């Protein structure tokens, strides 16, 4: 098929194998899709691994709004460069690379110029579910190949294995960026709410940055893991004593729960000037009591992934500090079971698809 819409008329689109959904309530199943023809600045990547983010489930099941089915999720992609366009300067065939949640942005707005493409004022192009350059919805990494503009491709340091590095492309940067923005480091007390994909990365990063880390989990069932990952304290939120004993303890709380929570009791755990940063993305609104904010100048904030420059910085930080994700590698036909386990908080701590099994 000639890809007339891309403006690269001498190229054809690429067929790709994938697993995806054709409806909100349909199980994921094998599909064939077309990747756009290689533009001059594009890189074609043979995908080796793709992490399973809770956002994949929210999106595909329609939690966040209408979905352009068929939908292929996946935005924690690692692989090998297989082909480069004529004007690509930063990558060569054989390079170890990654792609996260974004594949394009306007490049011109104030936020893009600052390197915060995730906050592009025109809206960035997401790896899946956005409108792509070829006029078709973008399709994610539960697939064997993808074509991406080189400006949105990351370099995976040699020290990091491609499977355990895949979750860094979303869970990694989504926790690294707010820890940096809110200044986690020596002398700061950080709490991580929810020990799942994002949560376990937050614990590792905050500890590596020198902060004192407490995990706030539904139960103590993962306490040993939390302490091994770098936390010095681990509490169950099902125990009312947790909220009494930790009042006023934290400079920063990262909430990674994907469901709406009662925010008030968590705000009371912040010190004066402390911030509760919501990373979880439930569809339902959450109500916020204002007095805990007013009385100690506390903040309730949000944060979305990070820019391309900061994502590369995070990957290099991981190589320097020996940080990767704790993963369970699955074959493509295990994806529906993996999703059910994520939904029931039964993940330790990220499922990663071996894309050679597609
Ligand atoms: P995950 O692996 O499922 O982890 C979430 C954890 O939250 C669970 O392991 C569980 O930990 C806890 N939890 C889940 N349901 C809960 C409930 N009903 N009540 C209390 N605790 C609950 O998910 P994830 O991939 O880390 O993603 C978490 C959320 O962040 C999702 O909403 C996702 O869409 C969003 N997200 C945001 C960004 C961003 O940039 N802001 C990036 C990626 C993902 P415990 O068992 O320890 O309690
Ligand atoms: Zn994600
Ligand atoms: Zn922009």
Q: Residue 12 has what pLDDT?
A: 86
CB of 193 sitting under 6 A from ligand 1: no
Q: Where in the chain is the domain with CATH 3.90.180.10?
A: 14-170+306-357
- Give 11's pLDDT tier (boundaries 50, 70, 90): low
Q: Residue 181 has what pLDDT?
A: 98
In three state form, how does the secondary structure of 265-279 look?
Answer: HHHCCEEEEEEEEEC
- Give 8's pLDDT tier (boundaries 50, 70, 90): very low
Q: Does the structure show a pLDDT above 70 at 10?
A: no
| Ligand with an atom nearest the CA of residue 108 | 3
Top-level class of domain 14-170+306-357 = alpha beta
pLDDT tens-digit series, residues 265-282: 999 999 999 999 999 999
Instruction: Please tell me the distance from the alpha carbon of residue 68 to that of residue 169, in angstroms, as a whole number.
Output: 23
Q: Does the structure show a pLDDT above 60 at 2?
A: no
Which residues, at least 6 apart from 277, have a Cβ–Cβ distance to it below 8 Å?
178, 182, 252, 253, 254, 255, 301, 302, 303
| CA-171 nearest atom, ligand 1 | 43
CB contact at 8 A, 51 and 198: no
**Exposure string for 108-131, b = 16+ CB within 10 A, e = fewer:** ebebbeeebbbbbeeebbbbbbee
Top-level class of domain 175-302 = alpha beta
Backbone Cα Rg of the chain? 20
Across 168-187, average pLDDT: 98
Q: From atom 22 of ligand 1, which residue's Cα is the shortest distance away?
A: 257
Q: Where in the chain is the domain with CATH 3.40.50.720?
A: 175-302
pLDDT tens-digit series, residues 20-57: 999 999 999 999 999 999 999 999 999 999 999 999 99
Q: From atom 1 of ligand 1, which residue's Cα is the shortest distance away?
A: 196
Q: Does the structure show a pLDDT above 90 at 4?
A: no
Q: Does the structure show a pLDDT above 80 at 9?
A: no
The percentage of the chain sitting over the pLDDT mark of 70, rounded to a whole number, equals: 97
pLDDT tens-digit series, residues 205-236: 999 999 999 999 999 999 999 999 999 999 99
pLDDT tens-digit series, residues 281-311: 999 999 999 999 999 999 999 999 999 999 9
pLDDT tens-digit series, residues 310-339: 999 999 999 999 999 999 999 999 999 999
Q: What is the mean pLDDT of the chain?
A: 96
């Amino acid at each position: 098929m000639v890809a007339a819409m891309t403006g690269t008329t001498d190229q054809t689109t690429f067929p790709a194998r994938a697993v995806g959904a054709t409806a909100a309530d349909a199980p994921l199943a094998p599909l064939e899709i077309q990747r756009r023809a290689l533009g001059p600045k594009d890189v074609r990547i043979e995908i080796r691994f793709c992490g399973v983010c809770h956002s994949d489930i929210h999106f595909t099941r329609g939690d966040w709004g209408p979905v352009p089915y068929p939908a292929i999720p996946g935005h924690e992609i690692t692989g090998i460069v297989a082909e480069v366009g004529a004007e690509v300067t930063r990558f060569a065939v054989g390079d170890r690379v990654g792609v996260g949640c974004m594949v394009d942005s306007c490049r011109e707005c104030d936020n893009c110029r600052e390197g915060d493409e995730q906050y592009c004022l025109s809206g960035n192009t997401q790896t899946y579910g956005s409108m792509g350059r070829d006029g078709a919805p973008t399709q994610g990494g539960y697939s064997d190949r993808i074509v991406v503009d080189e400006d949105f491709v990351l370099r995976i340091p040699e020290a990091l294995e491609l499977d355990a590095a895949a979750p860094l492309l979303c869970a990694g940067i989504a926790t690294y960026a707010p820890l940096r923005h809110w200044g986690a480091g020596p002398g700061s007390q950080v709490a991580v709410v929810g020990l799942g994909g994002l949560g376990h990365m937050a614990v590792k990063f905050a500890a590596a940055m020198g902060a004192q880390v407490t995990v706030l989990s539904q139960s103590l069932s993962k306490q040993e893991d939390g302490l091994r990952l770098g936390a010095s304290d681990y509490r169950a939120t099902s125990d009312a004593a947790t909220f009494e004993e930790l009042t006023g303890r934290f400079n920063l709380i990262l909430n990674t729960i994907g469901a709406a929570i009662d925010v008030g009791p968590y705000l009371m755990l912040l010190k004066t000037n402390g911030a509760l940063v919501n990373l979880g993305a439930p569809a339902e609104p959450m109500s916020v009591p204002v007095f805990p904010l007013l009385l100690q100048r506390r903040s309730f904030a949000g944060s979305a992934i990070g820019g391309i420059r900061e994502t590369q910085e995070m990957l290099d930080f991981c190589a320097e500090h020996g940080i990767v994700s704790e993963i369970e590698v699955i074959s493509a036909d295990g994806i529906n079971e993996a999703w059910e386990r994520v939904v029931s908080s039964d993940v330790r701590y990220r499922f990663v698809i071996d894309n050679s099994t597609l």
